[in-house]
Amino acid sequence: MYDYDLLVVGSANADLVIGVERRPAAGETVLGSDLAVHPGGKGANQAVAAARLGARTALLARVGDDAHGRLLLDSQRAAGVDTVGVLVGGAPTGVALITVDPSGDNSIVVSPGANGKLTPGDVRAAASLFHASRVVSAQLEIPLETVVEVVRSLAPGSRFVLNPSPPRPLPDEVLAACDPLIVNEHEARVIAGGSLDGSPEDWARALLALGPRSVVITLGAEGALVASSDTTTRIPAVKVEAVDTTGAGDAFTAALAWRLGLGEPAPEAATYAARVGAAAVTRQGAQESFPTAEEVAAP
Ligand code: ADP
């Protein structure tokens, strides 16, 4: 009865990456490597991750009428994402200007561009996508008022998943819709209002008290934790040689959202998502690193 397993509402950015010997100080100019341009943004990443696993996926996002926008549309289509919901124009495509030094430390400037122009009106105009989608996933690289409209637009019976990144305090209306709220430690701390004591189990309890139906805390190489009002389950990480953790959280979230929509219990869905996140860290890049279902199934 649903046309899409997953509708992702979120950002699409071009990541412009330059390697440097040393990141420049104020007023300084340094020479760097050739420019590399990669499709990115948490919304676009999640959509590609889900589609590559075989989920029927749509993206609701906004890009500029420019070469970066076309790059993003191409990468979505190549992964099999339905781009009927990708709006074009209103501002340049969002970009992240990234300098990386030999130790792997980076400095990033983000220009939200068209992402900042994805409005509540755009969400209302996409009502048919919401009615066709089993699960709707969002992040916070688009205006918060747009995320509020996403929650108000959910079709009866569909499920909402939120990764509040970059984190900021959330209105009760958004928190109450999350099933689950997916956070890493930093995001958990901001959502909880700054203080988080004790173990991840304690953090989960503190977050559940804010109203989400369930909580998933990602713990990097330590795996994840799944919590609802009655149970808390630790999900061990898959042991891998980590090469580049960029996009691991996006891949984990997309996989989890998809499997929950298929009706899997949260611990099973998170166990699968942990395999997807682990596969993503074994390869360079974000979208380029996301595995297919066959790669996840491989021993
Ligand atoms: P974020 O990028 O949002 O901070 P994490 O780094 O916690 O998210 O990664 C998300 C998930 O990806 C983790 O819960 C884990 O399952 C998997 N993962 C991340 N890093 C590793 C790693 N080094 N080894 C194995 N799995 C990992």
Task: Give tens-digit pLDDT for 276-298.
Answer: 999 999 999 899 999 999 999 98
Distance from the alpha carbon of residue 238 to the mean position of ligand 1, in angstroms: 9
Q: Give the number of the atom of ligand 1 that is nearest the alpha carbon of residue 238.
A: 25
pLDDT of residue 87: 98
| Stretches in the chain below the pLDDT threshold 50 | none
Tally of CA atoms within 13 A in the half-sphere of 105 that contains its CB: 5
CB 48 within 8 A of CB 75: yes
Helix (H, G, I), strand (E, B) or coil at 272: helix
Q: Distance between CA 103 and CA 267 in Å, rounded?
A: 36
Q: Where are the alpha helices (DSSP H) in 35-103?
A: 42-53, 67-79
Taking the centre of ligand 1 as the mean of its atom positions, its distance from the CA of residue 153, in whole angstroms, is: 30
- CA dist 86 and 63 (Å) reads 7
Tell me the CB-side half-sphere exposure of residue 212, using CA atoms within 13 A. 30
Judge whether 230 counts as a catalytic residue: no
Residue at 31: amino acid letter: L
DSSP assignment letter at 82: B
**Length of the chain counted residue by residue:** 299
* Packing angle of the helix pair 248-261, 266-281 (nearest 10 deg): 150
247 CA closest ligand 1 atom index: 2
d(CA 61, CA 56): 17
Residue 18: in which H helix or E strand, if any?
strand 13-19
Q: What residue's CA is closest to ligand 1, atom 14?
A: 218
Q: What pLDDT was estimated at residue 104?
A: 84
- Tokens standing for 212? 């989400």
Nearest CA to ligand 1 atom 13: 220
Token pair of 190 as six digits:
């901001």
Find where tokens 């991840």 sit: 200
* Residue 86: closest CA among 68, 99, 100: 68
Q: Which long-range contacts does 150-156 make (Cβ < 8 Å, 24+ apart)?
A: 150/9, 150/123, 151/177, 153/123, 153/124, 153/126, 153/127, 154/130, 155/130, 155/131
Residue nearest to atom 7 of ligand 1 (CA): 220
Q: What is the rounded CA–CA span in Å between residue 6 and residue 137? A: 7
Q: How many CA atoms lie within 13 A of 196 on its CB side?
A: 24
| SS percent in the chain: helix, strand, coil, step 5 | 40, 25, 35
Q: What is the pLDDT of residue 195?
A: 81
Q: Amino acid identity, residue 186?
A: H
Residues lining ligand 1, Cβ inside 6 A: 184, 218-221, 223-224, 237-238, 240, 242, 245, 248-249, 252, 274, 277-278, 281
